[in-house]
Structure formats: C-alpha cells, structure tokens
Structure 1
Amino acid sequence: MRLKFVPPMEPELFDRPPEGGDWIHEIKFDGYRTQVIKDEDGIRFYTKNGFDWTGRYRYLAEEATAIEAENFIFEGEAIMVNEAADFHAMQAVVGLRRPSPDIYLVAFDLLHLNGHDLRNMPLEDRREILQRIIPPGGRIQFSEALPGTGDAVYHLVDQSGLEGMVSKRKGSAYRSGPTNIWRKIKCFEEKRMEIIGAQRERGKAAKVLMAENGRYMGTADVVFKRDKRQALWDRVQGKIGAPPPKGLKKDKAEWLKPGLGGLVKTLKGEQHLRHATLRDFWEEDRANPTKGD
C-alpha cells in the first residue's frame, strides 16, 4: 500500500510559553519542516506543502533505510550542521538541488508505523516509539524534550542563541492544520538597519519602514516616550523627499533620503520583520555617528 502525505499539524505563534506541567517543550530548529514516508515504493521526503524533495535529501534517505520497519510516516526538521548552521545556509544548499552531507534531520513525531495509524495515540506514546526506532549516531536524530517549566526552557533557549521553542500539550492527538495545542514561541534578536520611510496616521501606531543592504524588510513600531519620539520625527522631517523604492508602494508613507539608521528588535528566524519595534536610531552620515538620546 502506498502511503499518502499527511498535511502537517501547525503550531500557533505565542508571545510566551504556556504555564503548568501539562506540556512538553522542544527546541525550535531553524530549518525545513519535513515528512518522511516509507512504504512498498521506498523512502520519500516531503516538504510541509507536500513537495517531494527526496533527491535533495539523498544522504538522509539512505540513512532512513536503516530504520527497522516495514512502513512509517514521521516528521522532523531538516537542518544544517556545519560552521554556518543557520536557515540561510540551509536555503542556499537546498536551492542548489544537490544533496549535502551537512543536512541532518531532527525527528519529533510519528504518525504511522507498520500499517497502523498512530495519530490518535497520545503525543508522548508516539514520541516514545519514534525514539526507539531511530538508530543512534546518524544524521537522523530524535528531538529530545527539555526538562523544566516553559519559562525556564525559554530562558535557556534564548541565552543559547537559538531561534525559539515549541510547546506541545501532553496527551494530545495529531490533527492536521493550525492548532494552539502546539505552540511556537520565538526568541527575539536586534538588528542594525536603515530607516527608509515612516508611516504616521492619526489613531494608528506610528511605524518606520526598514531596509537591510538596500532591501526592504518590513515595518517596526515606534514605541518611544514623547521626547525621544519627537527627536526621531525631527530627523525624519529633515530627510523626507526621496522617491519610493522601485516596486514598493505604500499608501501614506513618507520616503526618506539615506542616512538614518535604526536598531530593530524582531523575531528570530523570519525572512522579514515580525513583531518588530524600533529600539534606537542615529545619523549614519556623520563622521562620528551617535545614537539618539
């Protein structure tokens, strides 16, 4: 029997980890969500949208043959493990469509095994079976739960420079689609970027438009107190008048001439700014740049 791809269970993004002891907590790895299927047609690797990427994961596919089972479906995160172990390095390698020995898979859930659908089984039982069937020491590894409360795990993950964590309710079944039974909580990072525009509308939160190396990255909320906010608007006023960047049109945006930089706090692991706030700003075209008061 040929097994079909199962649409993934998708954790909802939360600002804080859940409280209480009814949750398990795992590291949120910075890679590609991946589903692995074995049946009478062999081993296949799928993206979270159901695209077959077996060819790009050839080394992982070879290792998956060592799992002693007639058939299975399990999920994990494909990640880079080398000096540049981040999502951008992973993107570059996968984009070449050539298999790399530096790609590993961290497995976290088992959906099917030897003809049995396990999705109604409690989460801990599925994970216990998954851990038993994965051979140790290879490129396919098991995602261990971290001990401690959600807050303690978040602190550890943040201090370790990781992207974030995923909390999953104990005893839960597997259900495809968005759910708050699984929760992802991301850590924040700060980035120095260029302020290329501003949006100020009565009754709405003020925002600045940010770019990195000339590429538009999104908006950041302005949450300064009155004096610092006014200092920012004074500098913005002196730079209004630049043409909109090519291909980027935003209603009621004031586009700025180059020279104003900003420090932005944003979620890690996102391609564009998300939940971002402006933390500081400065003139970049001075001989000795100084940050705002």
Structure 2
Amino acid sequence: MEFALPVKADTVPSGPDWFHEIKHDGYRMMIIRERDRVRLKTRGGFDWTDRYPWIVETAVKLKPSQFVLDGEAVVLNVDGLSDFAALQSRRYDDEVQFYAFDMLAGDGDDYRRLPLSMRKINLARLLARRTEGIQAAPYEQGEIGPDLFRHACLMGLEGMVSKHSARAYGAGRCTHWVKVKNPKHPAYRRVQDQF
C-alpha cells in the first residue's frame, strides 16, 4: 500500500466537510498486522518493526487479526507534545507510540475506497478501548479549522492536516489532504534547510 500525502497550503480549509488533525512531529508509518505478524513500514519503505517494540506489542493485543493503520510514530515529552529530537536520538525507541489517523484495511476488507468519515468510524471501533502504545489521533470537524490552527501555533505545535471527510484514500499527493505548518516550529526550518 502506498501512502497518501498531503499538499502544502498557507491556509486551513474551513468548510463543514473537513476533518482537522494536529500534525505531530514524528515518523510517518503504517502498522500492518496479518494474524500473529506485525510490521511497521515507513514512508521510505523501510521495515522498522524491531525498532519500536511498544507499538508492535500493542498491535498484537488488538482483537482483529488483520488490519492496516496509517499514522505517526512519536515520542512525547513531559508536556505531552511530540519531541522529534528525542525520537531521532533512538534513545527512547521503547517509548515510541503511534497516533493512528486512518484505517486502510480490516479483517480482510480493503477500506481505502470508503470515505474518510467511514474509515474514522472503523478506526474508532478498533481502538475503542484505551490502548497504551497505539491511539486514535483526535480530530475536529468543520468551520473550526482556522481557529484550531491558530491555537496549535500558539501552543508551539507543528501544524495541522485537514482532510475532506467524503473522499477515499488515494496514493501519493492528494488535494483533499491539506497540510499547513506553523512557521515558528523547528520542523518548518528543517524542511526549509533541505532545499
């Protein structure tokens, strides 16, 4: 499965059909569970299953024996914010947890053609019990997006990703996934330095 990737924008969509999620500063990843086997696949195609044991242990404990989740692997600091430097250091690999924001498959069914709103429902069902190590990324819907982004910036968060609730999951860049970054966050400078 290929990852859906957001397009960059300067403003957050504000229509009623948009879901808004905090952009965590971590590694984008898929959890792929097939019976007793769990794999963690990075956006670059690497297998990091051995790197993050807490995520793998949690995935094995979940009741369904087959699912694919899309999300972000993060290390949280004492304030509950993602800490990319701690994640990158590899000193906290056993503390890395997963914020799942999409469910692409479950129990043998491919969910990618379903609208995001239905995929979110399936994800919420999968993670209905509060699980340590893997959790559903919170989101808000509708006109509130620009205000949420402003508050995310005030809190020092990386930014937001807004996704159209009626759209299917598409591989590659998707115009119905919009990423707006906080220009004062270190991740913004990291990306700028790459060009």
For normalisation by structure 2, the TM-score amounts to: 0.90
Q: 1:179 to 1:64 in 2, by over 3 A?
A: same
In structure 2, the partner of 1:92 is 89
SS in 2 for 1:188: coil
Task: Give the drift of 1:34.
Answer: 0.8
Question: Once the two structures are superposed, what CA deviation does each residue of 1:208-260 show, in whole Å capped at 9, x if it has no partner?
Answer: xxxxxxxxxxxxxxxxxxxxxxxxxxxxxxxxxxxxxxxxxxxxxxxxxxxxx
Higher RCO (C-alpha 8 Å, min separation 6) = 2
Match for residue 146 of structure 1?
Answer: 140
* Partner residue in 2 for 1:124: 117
Which of the pair has more CA radius of gyration?
A: 1
Higher percent of residues as helix: 2
- CA distance, structure 1, for counterparts of residue 190 and residue 93 of structure 2: 27
Give the drift of 1:269.
Answer: 0.8
- What is the rounded CA distance, in whole Å, between the counterparts of 1:170 and 1:85 in structure 2? 25
What's the counterpart of residue 107 of structure 2? 114
CA distance in 2 between counterparts of 1:273 and 1:119 reads 29
Aligned to 1:64: 59
Separation in structure 2 between the aligned mates of residue 138 and residue 89 of structure 1, nearest angstrom: 19
Shift of 1:85: 4.2
CA contact (8 A) 2:54 2:95 kept: no
Q: Secondary structure at the match of 1:16?
A: coil
- Which whole-Å CA distance do the structure 1 matches of 2:172 and 2:190 have between them? 23
Q: Which residue does 1:177 correspond to in 2?
A: 172
Q: Which amino acid aligns with 2:54?
A: Y
Provide TM-score, normalisation by structure 1.
0.61
Superposition RMSD in Å: 2.0
Q: Amino acid of the residue matched to residue 126 of structure 2?
A: I
Asked if 1:81 is matched to 2:76, the reply is yes
The answer for the alignment partner of 2:44 in structure 1 is 49
Any unmatched runs of 5+ in structure 2?
none
Aligned residue pairs: how many? 189
Aligned to 1:25: 20
Q: Percent identity?
A: 35
Paired with 1:149 and 1:85, the residues of 2 have a C-alpha distance of: 23
Deviation (angstroms), 1:70: 2.1
